[in-house]
Structure 1
Amino acid sequence: MTASTEDLRKLLGPVRYVLWDLDGPICRLFAGHPARDVARELVKLIERLGLGGLLREEERGDPDPQAVLLGVNARHPDSDLIALLEDWLTEQELAAVPTAMPTPYTDPLIRTWSALGAGFAVTTNNSASAAAAYIESRHLGGCFPYIYGRTKDLDRMKPHPHCLSRALQALGADPSHALMFGDAGTDYQAAQELNVPFLGYARNQRKLEALMSAGVEPTRIVRSMDEVLTALKGMH
């Protein structure tokens, strides 16, 4: 049983600032440029550089390019190599933007919430440039004055709270009046570090189970953005 309308109203009542993960709550970034293919190409690039020995077997088949990148970073935190690979992944994310799929009901939710006075920031493990490109493609730039994404220092990716901390500071936000909206356990962990309330988005059963395994209460998870939009409208 996920969040009821009453659960959502209680959670949303104090919220004045929303920290949004990009890939999941806002869009499916790799909908038309599959992440699995990007991860496979990243493995090939690492092998062409003569560094295939840095990859574990599970990373070679991992469908998440960020997991491949983080695996290399854990065993070879060489700034030049990581900078090269991170730049390459950023290019792939930018290439994915034109075919990214908006999460149903998120655009109207963003516009409605923003019109009601909420302050927004994007806090993502994707590159800030890709996040900004997607936001602009949806004509939502006016709603998002702050966008924080992956840097060359991969140790500061979520679950590290770095990007959330920067967003809270920029917004001048009291954590108790903020909300982190994410779809992964790493989003929840980062929010927990800063005592920021969390709302999880689970578009399928796999995402739901992953959030619950990370410790997210079912009453803090929605299956559709329409549920949040309905609760928000009912409060005003």
Structure 2
Amino acid sequence: MEPERLRALIGEARVVLWDFDGPICRLFAGHSAQRVAVELVEWLEGRGLHGLLTDTERQSLDPHIVLRAVDRRHPGSDLVDELEERLTQEELRATSTAMPTPYADPLIQTWKAVGSRLAIATNNSPRVVRAYLATRGLTSCFAPHVYGRTRTLSRLKPDPHCLTRALSAMGSAASAALMIGDTPSDLLAARAAGVPFLGYARNERKAKLLRDEGAEEIVSSLQPVLEQLRSHG
């Protein structure tokens, strides 16, 4: 990404909306998300609900796909609530082995120090986000603006609901904000909310997924973002 474009993107942002798992940390670095998905599928099968998922959903190895699939068929049910709580407990366990994204902590602290307002807009449980932030001493950088998974699972990204909640609570126009995310669903949510987007891709596979969805501004490290902010913030 050209330094001039990155500088302009950063300079125009008065509010920065962060996805959590990816740009801030690798939540499942030491606690496999694939294993969590398999266990959720096995839990459903243990209750005689094997047929609730398609083969594709069952083999996705993504706990959010499993959760949303069940919610589409039984929205607002006790089954969905119980499955969501099981996922939240697994996410909470994962915080103890989560790996901070390189340069994320100082970038967050610097952005806060130069007067920008920060929020988190994520598909993870807000309980999980707050637990992680507390371990890194970052709570004050975001509080109280953590917008995560609610019981209305149809509002998970790519729906822009968590972004619009953040913008509304902070009294910010979408054009004055910047979303940092690492998945196509982050990009689609930002696009739907009218928020400029900066993609973070720690490998070429992630970058290709973002490019295929039309992302133009992508960085492979947060270091150049931090350097630009320090030199022009």
TM-score, normalised to structure 2's length?
0.97
After superposition, the C-alpha distances for 1:19-65 in whole angstroms (9 at most, x for unaligned) are 10000000000001110110110011111121110111122222211
Q: Which amino acid aligns with 1:171?
A: M
2:199 counterpart SS class: strand
Q: State the 4+ residue runs in structure 1 displaced beyond 6 angstroms.
A: none
**Whole-Å Cα distance in 2 between the matches of residues 205 and 39 of structure 1?**
24
**Whole-Å Cα distance in 2 between the matches of residues 205 and 81 of structure 1?**
37
Cα offset for 1:74?
Answer: 2.2
1:126 counterpart SS class: coil
Q: 1:70 aligns with which of 68, 71, 78?
A: 68
Q: How does 1:1-236 map to 2 (within 5 A)?
A: 3-145=1-143, 146-217=145-216, 220-236=217-233
Superposed CA RMSD in Å reads: 1.0
2:35 counterpart SS class: helix
Q: What is the number of equivalent residue pairs in this alignment?
A: 232
**Whole-Å Cα distance in 2 between the matches of residues 119 and 106 of structure 1?**
15
Does the 8 A contact of 2:184 with 2:213 survive in 1? yes
**Whole-Å Cα distance in 1 between the matches of residues 218 and 171 of structure 2?**
26
Task: Identify unmatched segments of 5+ residues in structure 1.
Answer: none
After superposition, the C-alpha distances for 1:170-221 in whole angstroms (9 at most, x for unaligned) are 111111110011001111111111211110100111110110111111xx10
TM-score, normalised to structure 1's length?
0.96
After superposition, the C-alpha distances for 1:113-135 in whole angstroms (9 at most, x for unaligned) are 11001101110000000011111
The percent of aligned pairs where both chains have the same amino acid is: 54
**Whole-Å Cα distance in 2 between the matches of residues 36 and 194 of structure 1?**
30
1:196 counterpart SS class: coil
